[in-house]
Structure 1
């Protein structure tokens, strides 16, 4: 009997050694793909490493080319420079309208064969598939869906003082006053232009509703910007800033998330990538922090979708690029990546019970047919880089110049966002 145990143990050892050897061989023979992206925070880095691990098992080496910088502006500049020099990366993080711009000039490899083999039309959310389809071609591999209209709160502070996560602005104001009375900042804040725009579009969705939001951000009707509901959103934006801070403050979003975790602030309005960052630091969405939607945005999903485009290159990489697209959209990589990134899978064959409470609500809202799914302008889903930056600058000036009236801000926004040929 002991002899049988010894034989079984030796067989297991040999098998484990064989598996390890095969893994090492796969690593040694993996074909490298140069991947340019801007995932550099703790959670983003972990999520990218998770993708690299899944790809390595499939014989694809993730050759990292991370470019730090808020919102990817620096990465896009590097990408343009590399293309002009004739040395484009094999893969680039291109999202929203930036993706279609690059596809329009023929620099993006179509992934129609991958989409057909992997049955993307049956597996992916229709909104996501439409986003990565341009002129009949699938032009990117979608990774995850972020929810922008997210309000994070510190569970420990709320439990300590018996506070209830706000579902309305009246409740928000009450909670804010109670936090301030305890010497805690009610809302983490930054005056970085893109962060101001992120908060504003969330407020606009709540005050204007999804139909008007689409007229403003997607159809970009100039006259719609003079609607009283836009004025109300601008006034609320100024109120929130005054509630959060008096002095100008510009800081990266991760620092605001750190303040929330350290109990220096009770709440934070930010996309759910902030949730991923909190989890990367060891915090739990069940124990340490929670998520609700920003007041007024129930049953709506203000989204941004992470995508990777395979670029046309003088290097013969098409087969490996297609393999990467297959791996990163498959269910195992989807679950692993999004769990770390804070986003949710782009697939509708996910078991929602496997998701944390914040992610489950985001995924179920996005999946529900009666929900309003609207694209973020601040994160390139609804407009190009130039319009996004122009809107953010108007909002920044409005908040930093107390003399500017909401009506003036409305007129300036109408001027910078108007689409060619749109209604005036």
Structure 2
């Protein structure tokens, strides 16, 4: 799917008895620290997490991993993969289900309902959730915002005025990484704020042809808003690390970025405090709500009983309450198990927890299209590319909205 810099962690053929290999993302220092919590916990049970390929190894395709799985049928391996890509890997036989583990350990009672539903596919539990990221959040340098005399509120007009005032000072108003995912994070945030969760899901999740026809004017309004933002955005090279974005905000080179809550892991790693050095705020618009990405680990297929037992240990370690607290404190994600106390650590955690609670209660919570939670892989790739092309060219809002709707309608014929 979308290109990520990941490390393939597989047991060497000479293998050590008490090892488990992992295919996992490796973006930043804060996430590496989060992984170390799980690694240490596994080591307490004499199970060693093994890293094999270089950090800059591209994420292998499902077919490539399937080949590795078939060549090493007794290998115990986990993969950090989520959303529709996860479902595709399961359908290809690369991933095996964890239903027995989930039932034995009462995951249904432990996990919030919407999270539990997201790890189900074809009647089976196909992954263990590790953390939840809210993706429609603005992160900003507090001092720069305060100096404008304006606030980060829900008014679109106020937001544009805020950006103009920042630009007058010579500071970059918005900094973003130049890739398809981050452009789509912005698009989907504005779309949810424009139409609300029901219309968002009908189009971006269900690909309902009637809903797609009805939402085209909203697509155009969103592209018009994106057009208004373009002059305020500084685009960093595609391979830029999230850490660089954080440093641009912290140093005052730029005022605002739109990122998922993973960026808070970097603020925490630097020892910064919410509402003292940085702000967090919902993207402005008439509808409030939450867009989420669910981090999950899946068990790669094996018929070896000993390997399956190691995978079960790994899965249960992920859901351990203490591990949930520590891992997600460092990664910036929200714990998937209740009552960890993580929301009390800082004011952005508390605000995000309130947003999540309210959105869940009012059903204003949707999956992130940018992060692969909604659309089948082939359709999702094309949708992201259409949005990215608009953000990097002079394409018109009306033409792009029409093109997007038509391609998504065609995609709906492929899956419905």
Contact 1:338 1:345 in 2 (8 A): yes
Cα deviation, 1:359-394, whole Å, max 9, x if unaligned, reads 222233323412411011111100132222211211
Q: Distance in 1 between matches of 2:382 and 2:54?
A: 23
352-361 or 190-199, which deviates more? 352-361
Contact 2:180 2:384 in 1 (8 A): yes
Q: 2:366: which partner in 1?
A: 374
Contact 1:48 1:337 in 2 (8 A): yes
- List aligned pairs for 1:25-424, cutoff 5 A: 31-65=18-52, 74-77=58-61, 80-85=63-68, 86-87=71-72, 90-222=77-209, 224=212, 227-245=216-234, 250=238, 252=240, 254=242, 255-296=244-285, 299-313=288-302, 316-351=306-341, 353-368=343-358, 369-402=361-394, 404-418=395-409, 419-421=411-413
Quote how far apart the aligned CAs of 1:415 are.
3.2
| Gapped regions of structure 2 (runs ≥ 5) | 1-15
Q: Distance in 1 between matches of 2:325 and 2:400?
A: 42
What TM-score, normalized by structure 2, do the two folds share? 0.86
Q: Distance in 2 between matches of 1:39 and 1:249?
A: 18
Distance 1:397 1:414, change over 3 A: same
Contact 2:153 2:159 in 1 (8 A): yes
Distance 1:282 1:349, change over 3 A: closer
Contact 1:299 1:371 in 2 (8 A): no
> After TM superposition, which residue ranges in structure 1, 4 or more long, deviate above 6 angstroms?
none
Distance 1:304 1:318, change over 3 A: same
How many residues align structurally?
A: 390
Distance 1:209 1:353, change over 3 A: closer
Quote how far apart the aligned CAs of 1:151 are.
0.5
Q: 1:13: which partner in 2?
A: none
Distance 1:189 1:110, change over 3 A: closer
Secondary structure of residue in 1 paired with 2:21: strand
Contact 2:42 2:317 in 1 (8 A): yes
Contact 1:197 1:395 in 2 (8 A): yes
| Gapped regions of structure 1 (runs ≥ 5) | 1-28
Q: Distance in 2 between matches of 1:383 and 1:336?
A: 31
Secondary structure of residue in 2 paired with 1:317: helix
Secondary structure of residue in 1 paired with 2:291: strand
Contact 1:30 1:59 in 2 (8 A): no
Secondary structure of residue in 1 paired with 2:362: coil
Q: 1:12: which partner in 2?
A: none
Q: Distance in 1 between matches of 2:286 and 2:293?
A: 16
Q: Distance in 2 between matches of 1:146 and 1:30?
A: 34
What TM-score, normalized by structure 1, do the two folds share? 0.84
268-277 or 337-346, which deviates more? 268-277
Quote how far apart the aligned CAs of 1:348 are.
2.8
Secondary structure of residue in 1 paired with 2:96: coil
Q: Distance in 1 between matches of 2:354 and 2:45?
A: 31
Contact 1:36 1:67 in 2 (8 A): no
142-151 or 191-200, which deviates more? 191-200
Q: Distance in 1 between matches of 2:392 and 2:184?
A: 13
Find the structure with the greater CA-based Rg: 1
Contact 1:37 1:67 in 2 (8 A): no
Quote how far apart the aligned CAs of 1:286 are.
4.0
Quote how far apart the aligned CAs of 1:328 are.
0.6
